[in-house]
Structure 1
Amino acid sequence: MAKALIKSRNKGIKLGLTFLILAIIIIATVGFIYVKEQMKPVDSEGVSYDITIKIPSGSTTAKIADILEENSLIKNKYIFKIIVRMKEVDGKLKAGEYSLNKKMDLYQIIDALVKGNPKKTVKFTIPEGYELSMIAEKLSKQNLVNKERFLELCNNVSLFKKKFDFLKELPEGSTLEGYLFPDTYEVYKDAKEEEIINKMLARFEQVYNDKIKYKAKKLNLTMNEVITLASIIEREAKLDSERPLISAVFHNRLKKGWLLQSCATVQYVLGERKENLTYDDLKIDSKYNTYLYKGLPPGPIASPGLKSIEAAVEPANVDYMFFVVNKDGSHTFSRSFNEHVNAKNKNK
């Protein structure tokens, strides 16, 4: 009887150990699969563009992991820290500015940070209200692009549609006018024209957020209409406080079916920013001439900044129909034509 009990107990212990070992194997396998998955690129399937990050001097591995996770370059910051320790490179990750992308796996990112960033970079700033031709000219003078190739690429939107879905919303025949966001950028000195364009389009995609999209939808405006209107506001306004007022004038005119009569659109047709337009200038036959054609032009006339884009979807609640520029760059707004004429006479 005792032997039978001992035999039964031993059998139970063996069975329990078997289940325990199986459980450990299963847990280890699941854990291994999970860790392996977390080490993979964030976006191995889709189209990915470079993301520039800056690792400050003296950053710990934990701080670097936070920066990478915040920029969606790694899936799990804890796994990152574990792999760094396993590779025995803790404390060897170098500070600097890096261009990384979501197609890089954990090992590639760690190797890049260990190696450091020996490439020299250069900064450039595109002011708000610049046209494509002006952007090309500025970058060419900084020896960053071949002007002709840059403009040729900007005139071929289809080359960038795979990377940026928002470009699919543009009307047929559009260029990248208005969509290279004006900002300060840092690129490698040997960056190609495509890389610079991608960087600027990526910034636009970031700026044109869900909040702006929601407000545009409420106003029944397409993205192209928003950016077109914003570009006109950008060219007309000098003071940030006046952007919503200028936007309101154009919105009010559009609602009433009036001509927008923006000098900035005529200047775009002329290809030069004349301070004073002649009557002949105002007669130039172009869909961009808002003195001849009602509604918005076919596309943007320049690259608008964020404040102009916001003004385009958030016009001031006023009934102004006219504005005239004052000598100090500000504007006088009027409700009636007579008020407008008086304001113009005062500025002579």
Structure 2
Amino acid sequence: MKRISLAVLALLVVLALGAAWWLSEHYQAQLDTPMALDASERFQLEPGQGLRSVSRTFAERGWVDSAWVLEAYGRRQGIAPRLQAGEYAVTPGMTPRELIHAMARGEVVQHRLTFPEGWTIRQALAALREHPELIGPAESVGVDNLLEALGLEDLGHPEGWFLPDTYFFGSGTEALAVLQRAHQAMRLHLDRAWEDRIEDHPVKSPYELLILASIIERETGRGDERDRVAGVFVNRLKRGMRLQTDPTLLYAQEPGVQRLTRAELDRDHPYNTYTRAGLPPTPIALPGRAALQAAARPAETNDLFFVSRGDGSHHFSETYREHREAVIRYQLGGDGSRYGIRNR
């Protein structure tokens, strides 16, 4: 009788071990079997959604056979309190184990938005509103009250204060949060440019450097000319000459205006650098890193003038006479009798 009992006990132990082995293999297989997907999908983990709810959703979608397997694994691994809300990419070949760990690490789908160099803050706001994955900004937020919405009222005017770049973010991100990052990036690069400026620079503050950089950004898109364009403006500022640059006047016009009339050139206002010396009161665009650096460390030349060649490049001159000849050649087709435009 005793031998029979021992045999039964041994059998039960073997069966228990076998069951435990089978459960372990089944458990691991569910976690490591690629989910049934024909194409990539997105999974939205809502704020406050817990491990049990996530596990049930996985089971409902056929990604695991049993919700309890994923839930038990998640609790054993300490994943439950680390789940991060957001949008996650689920791709063919991905396993439940990989996805649940991605959620614990917060590896949300990254969307992007680019602010090109030379954009205005109005254009940046429009792009933020049009992006389908961003929240806001509210229609009530515009150029006039943007700084208040960002808690940056001390800056005075928002133009120029946001660095052109490509910004990545998760779905449902507040648009103003993207602008905050762009502003922090601009602060960083503006401070670096200010610290790196030439010793005898005519601008008196980082904000004036920002204004100058925005003008340089709008005057040329050619990297090989940017420093030289900056040199012309710095040379003029040192001599007390008017900058006489069209982009500042265009900034004061209605959006979309590309050409200036004689009347607009003559009309005096703070952005008319033909009638007023010095810099305009605010930046006229969002300057990029290269424009900031060019403004801080311009080319050392004697140039005081430049004129477009019509192919995207410019001709630079040291004297007004040289400049006038270049204008006749590149702007008036060589017909000096029609010369009637202002000098730079």
Q: What TM-score, normalized to structure 1?
A: 0.61
C-alpha spacing 1:265/1:152, structure 2 compared with 1 (3 Å): closer
- Residue in structure 2 matched with residue 208 of structure 1 by the alignment: 190
- Residue in structure 1 matched with residue 28 of structure 2 by the alignment: none
State the shift of 1:308 in Å: 0.4
- Aligned 8 A contact 2:141 2:149 in 1: no
1:298-317 mapped onto 2 (5 Å cutoff)? 298-317=281-300
State the shift of 1:297 in Å: 0.6
For 1:184 and 1:129, locate their aligned partners in 2 and report how far apart those are by CA, in whole Å: 14
- Residue in structure 2 matched with residue 261 of structure 1 by the alignment: 244
Q: Does the alignment pair 1:297 with 2:280?
A: yes
- Aligned 8 A contact 1:130 1:302 in 2: yes
- Residue in structure 2 matched with residue 133 of structure 1 by the alignment: 122
Deviates more, 1:315-324 or 1:132-141: 132-141
Across the aligned residues of Structure 1 and Structure 2, the Cα RMSD in angstroms comes to 3.3
- Aligned 8 A contact 2:191 2:206 in 1: no
Gapped regions of structure 2 (runs ≥ 5): 1-75, 88-99, 333-344
- Residue in structure 1 matched with residue 60 of structure 2 by the alignment: none
For 1:157 and 1:213, locate their aligned partners in 2 and report how far apart those are by CA, in whole Å: 28
Amino acid at match of 1:198: Q
Max Rg structure: 2
C-alpha spacing 1:235/1:197, structure 2 compared with 1 (3 Å): same
- Residue in structure 1 matched with residue 131 of structure 2 by the alignment: 142
C-alpha spacing 1:325/1:301, structure 2 compared with 1 (3 Å): same
Q: Does the alignment pair 1:115 with 2:104?
A: yes
State the shift of 1:285 in Å: 3.0
Amino acid at match of 1:233: I
- Aligned 8 A contact 1:155 1:176 in 2: yes
Deviations 1:202-248 (A, max 9, x none): 22133234454242776253111011000000000121111111111
Amino acid at match of 1:323: F
Amino acid at match of 1:181: L
For 1:138 and 1:158, locate their aligned partners in 2 and report how far apart those are by CA, in whole Å: 17
For 1:346 and 1:245, locate their aligned partners in 2 and report how far apart those are by CA, in whole Å: 21
C-alpha spacing 1:218/1:121, structure 2 compared with 1 (3 Å): same
Aligned residues between the structures: 240
C-alpha spacing 1:194/1:274, structure 2 compared with 1 (3 Å): closer
Q: Does the alignment pair 1:180 with 2:169?
A: no
State the shift of 1:181 in Å: 0.7
Q: Which of residues 280, 300, 313 is equivalent to 1:330?
A: 313
- Residue in structure 2 matched with residue 238 of structure 1 by the alignment: 221
State the shift of 1:175 in Å: 1.5
1:40-79 mapped onto 2 (5 Å cutoff)? none
Q: What TM-score, normalized to structure 2?
A: 0.62
For 1:243 and 1:157, locate their aligned partners in 2 and report how far apart those are by CA, in whole Å: 33
- Aligned 8 A contact 2:164 2:288 in 1: yes
Q: Match of 1:151, SS? A: coil
Deviations 1:10-50 (A, max 9, x none): xxxxxxxxxxxxxxxxxxxxxxxxxxxxxxxxxxxxxxxxx
Q: Which of residues 97, 113, 116 is equivalent to 1:124?
A: 113
Deviations 1:275-332 (A, max 9, x none): 4321112123321111111100111000000000000010111011111111111000
Q: Match of 1:324, SS? A: strand
Percent of pairs identical after alignment?
30
